[in-house]
Amino acid sequence: MAKKYRVAVVGAGLVGKKMVEILLERNFPLSSLRVLATRKREEIIAGQKFLVEETTPESFREIDLALFAGTEGEKGASRTFARKAIAEGTIVIDNGSDFRLEPDVPLVVPEVNKAALKYHQGLIANPNCSTIQMVMILAPLSATFGLNRVIVSTYQAVSGTGREAMDELENQIRAYCSGQTLSPQVYPHPIAFNIFPHIGGLSQEFPGYFAEEVKMIKETRKILNKPDLPISATCVRVPVFNGHCESLTVELKKPANPEEARAILSRMPGVKIVDDPERNEYPLPTAASGKDEVLVGRIRANPIFQFGLDLWIAADNIRKGAALNAVQIAEEMLAQGLL
């Protein structure tokens, strides 16, 4: 009989609930599934009633695998509990940003760098949502044509901030349509019918850059094992409920026309080409929401760089950008005999 695993999901917000849902829908071999959070309560998750338990160091006794949902921009529960869980023999997959850049922690997108998993020491990091969808496109292009530099602008949905941000967008839309004043609580400015290039705090290491932009730069270099890769990122919050989009410009080392790029990307697992502008077909956040694939289109020659391409990407930031990627890491660890 195939081995089954005692699994805990730490966090019961958008990402934590989606982790539970994906573990169940993909039939991960579970002998038990527990949900841990900051306080005890009952929650309906994936149509089932779960008793959410308060997280303590003792929670990880007799747990084989813990998925930490994490919260972008905040110190996650993994900072408090991950090392204690590992000491109990638990393998930790962390969606938060606390450990991503530590040299002894693999930062993994399974379709891109699954070999890094064999070097884990009990802890594996899930990359930032915007980084994940970008490296899914960069990796096959880099492997075939080489990569000189990357310029990216993101258009990030409010679900990346959590349920409170989604509620804020909905409430502000209602207020706007009723002629009421828009009062931001989650964000520094109203998000309804507005955009702002501000995600995370300002960086001291990269003057003028916000934290999300620095994450994309440093995480991409680590995942692709290109520590000196020139990358420029501008990250923008937009009034979309779910699904991040990215405008991506790459300068390659070898010539690549759009047809060659489409052929390469069409063979990349987890990538779907949506590229027929004459029929108004290109990646949309509404089309990506709820889907596992990273959508890519508007693939065209860049007129500035000799070997340049411009592309447009969309992906569900809660699924592939967070929960699904974490579960795929666990599945890959099973495949490699690492669990």
The residues annotated with a catalytic role in the active site are 129, 244
What is the tens place of the pLDDT at every residue in 43-97?
999 999 999 999 999 999 999 999 999 865 556 789 999 999 999 999 999 999 9
With a CB cutoff of 8 Å and minimum separation 6, the contacts of 218 are: 101
Measured from the Cβ of residue 117, the count of other Cβ atoms closer than 10 Å reads 17
Q: Of the candidates 210, 179, 173, 213, which has an alpha carbon nearest to the alpha carbon of residue 191? A: 173
Q: Which residues of the chain have pLDDT under 70?
A: 1, 71-75
Strands 5-10 and 308-315: unpaired
Radius of gyration, alpha carbons of the chain: 20
Domains of the chain by start residue, with CATH: 5-126+322-335 (3.40.50.720), 131-317 (3.30.360.10)
The 10 Å Cβ neighbour count of residue 38 is 12
The pTM for the full model equals: 0.96
pLDDT given at position 91: 98
Residue 123, phi then psi, degrees to nearest 5:
-135, 130
**What is residue 322's predicted lDDT score, i.e. its pLDDT?**
97
Segment 184-194, tens digit of pLDDT: 999 999 999 99
3-state secondary structure of 102: coil
pLDDT of the residue at 72: 54
What pLDDT does 74 receive? 56
Q: Which helix (H) or strand (E) holds 211?
A: helix 211-224
Q: Report the distance separating Cα 217 and Cα 103, nearest Å.
A: 16
